[in-house]
Structure 1
Amino acid sequence: MWKKPHTLEELQAACTSTLVQTLGIEFTAVGEDYIEGRMPVDERTMQPMGLLHGGASAALAETLGGAGAYLCVEEGTICVGLEINANHIRPARRGWVIGRATRLHQGRTTQVWNIMIRDEQDQLICVSRLTVAVRPSVQR
């Protein structure tokens, strides 16, 4: 499934000085057909009522789905988000949330990814779907 070589260290290094680093998102596993990561529930990712911000969940989902999509395409190709949705099932108040992204569809010009986000007790926090466009990379 993966067409690009990858290590967790390489994925993390690619996110230096980005939103991913700012939110404390960490890649934790790349399996045969999934990619996983985690994000802290802390002052960076909470909304004023002391709960995990829905936008932070969406950022984790897009990070994982986007990284998976990127690893599934040939060199010289990029993936950019077209649409993301997120259903927030239950609140998270502290600790970590863990996301797992799996590919639902890979076409010539689009991919669709499913991302399930759970807390450390394995309770479902958020279900998200990400659609990405697959395009040739543009040299700057």
Structure 2
Amino acid sequence: MMDNFTPAPYAAELAAAGVPDELLDWLGWRGLGALVVKMGIHFLEIGPERSVATMPVAGNTQVAGILHGGAHVVLAETLGSFAAGMHAGPGRHALGIEVGATHHRPIAEGTVTGTCTAIHLGRTLTTHEIVMTDEKGRRLSTARITNLIRDDAG
């Protein structure tokens, strides 16, 4: 139950991930999700039109020593879903219905930056493109996610 006296249980998790204080009402009682924390995703900017986050390569590699392709998709889906959720607004939520990615080049160390840009922000659907780049700005992968916007049950 939310009240004005009990601190949000995920406040420390959100602060560590770079989530701005003004989003605590939205995320403070749900958190980021265990996978986002485990992957080391850190938000630099969060909004419906544009969101940016980083993720370390270390700890997210596959057997060949490069960033796992699924890690690219986790970063992309995280950014696209959070952006869609913000667009949905109070009393509504976003559900991912399609995600796809093209991997352009590998990365074996450093940090990946994902930049999510809205393609379509509608009443019932959103679509975002997410571009992952390395520290030199080279494109590593491109993803697209579509989210369905639904009213909360209740």
Give the TM-score range, shorter chain. 0.7 to 0.9
Which residue of 1 is the match for residue 151 of structure 2? Answer: 136
Which SS does the other structure have where 2:88 is aligned? coil
TM-score normalised by length of structure 1: 0.86
Which residue of 2 is the match for residue 63 of structure 1? Answer: 78
Query: Post-superposition shift, 1:31?
Result: 6.3
Pair 1:8 & 2:20 matched:
yes
User: Over alpha carbons, which structure has the higher Rg?
Assistant: 2
Which residue of 2 is the match for residue 105 of structure 1? Answer: 120
Alignment of 1:42-121 (within 5 A): 42-43=58-59, 45-121=60-136
Task: Give the gaps of 5 or more residues in structure 1.
Answer: 1-6
Deviation string 1:30-85 (CA, Å, 9 cap, x unpaired) is 36831100000012x10000000000000000000111111112210000100000
Q: How many residues align?
A: 131
Separation in structure 1 between the aligned mates of residue 153 and residue 106 of structure 2, nearest angstrom: 40
Separation in structure 1 between the aligned mates of residue 143 and residue 20 of structure 2, nearest angstrom: 22
Could you say which structure has the higher strand fraction? Answer: 1
Task: Give the gaps of 5 or more residues in structure 2.
Answer: 1-18
Separation in structure 1 between the aligned mates of residue 146 and residue 48 of structure 2, nearest angstrom: 20
Which residue of 2 is the match for residue 3 of structure 1? Answer: none
Could you say which structure has the higher helix fraction? Answer: 2
CA RMSD, 1 decimal: 1.9
Query: Post-superposition shift, 1:107?
Result: 1.8
TM-score normalised by length of structure 2: 0.79
Instruction: Name whichever of 21-30 and 53-62 sits farther off.
Output: 21-30
